[in-house]
Structure 1
């Protein structure tokens, strides 16, 4: 299905581009979210009539996102979770948890704006990208720890995960004669 994009969409195109997408993606995501219109002659004419208004609205949203970016970029947030001695969490920290931590600090961010490749499953410092607008993204640091004291120590650079070290016994020197084969290998 061909659609006209009403805003910039990553890996798809800019506002006003006519792009071909799979029918399900258009019907289930782009059209209901108001991010695109079907590419009919009537909709193309309608879009051209509203283009200036849509660009102004997009510019306004981008400037709002830029203001939030100035306050948010480079900040650090602490998330307390229970974990084992090796630092493995008994659960995980998802994009929902990060969005809630940001909301507690006065930032209104939806969980789908938090770009987390996979849930965080170990304690430590993790860099996370927050997509405030299709053209504006901020990087924040999530400090996952078992307590506030540990979070403070982690932020100073201390590694709190317990690692076990094993000493391997020394192996006797190998005898090269023990590796010779009886007979020719090509006979088989």
Structure 2
């Protein structure tokens, strides 16, 4: 079996890795495809240091994102409830439903934080009342908020 060659990817390669990854490939794949196409370079001590530096910067960026998400979660949990006013029909049934975009707009108005509507999980809301919504702020941070649906005045 042939010896494997270590390379650093200079761009994303499907089924192999992302830019900056250290990969081991067959020598022919490296010699005939990756290096001539400019998708990878040979490993040197200087390049390894650059890769480590990039990884450290990425780790710090991810840690900062998590801290911001924790701060937003604390702000959301300090706010007791968020009120959403909807037009009401018979038997306290609302016209339409409460959407994730409605919740995101109410939170932005109350706290000033932009929340991505795609990270909001709501139960089926068809009547007046109090409901719990889960908001995914970060892969590791999820906040739960209370949504109170009230009649529109």
Q: TM-score, normalised by structure 1?
A: 0.53
Q: Distance in 2 between matches of 1:41 and 1:133?
A: 23
Cα distance change, pair 69–40 in 1 and its aligned pair in 2 (3 A): same
Gaps of 5+ in 1: 1-35, 149-188
In the alignment, is residue 52 of structure 1 matched against residue 56 of structure 2?
Answer: yes
In the alignment, is residue 97 of structure 1 matched against residue 102 of structure 2?
Answer: yes
Q: What is residue 155 of structure 1 aligned with on the other side?
A: none
Q: Distance in 1 between matches of 2:115 and 2:13?
A: 26
Q: What is residue 142 of structure 2 aligned with on the other side?
A: 137
Q: What is residue 108 of structure 1 aligned with on the other side?
A: 114
Q: TM-score, normalised by structure 2?
A: 0.63
Q: What is residue 23 of structure 1 aligned with on the other side?
A: none
Aligned pairs for 1:36-185 (under 5 A) are 38-40=14-16, 43=19, 44-45=21-22, 49=52, 50-73=54-77, 75-105=80-110, 106-118=112-124, 120-147=125-152
SS at match of 1:143: strand
Report the aligned-residue RMSD.
Answer: 2.6
Q: Distance in 1 between matches of 2:140 and 2:87?
A: 36
Gaps of 5+ in 2: 1-11, 23-39, 41-50
Greater gyration radius: 1
Moved more, 72-81 or 49-58: 49-58
Aligned length: 112
Residue 39 of structure 1: how far off its partner (Å): 4.0
Residue 38 of structure 1: how far off its partner (Å): 3.5
SS at match of 1:138: strand
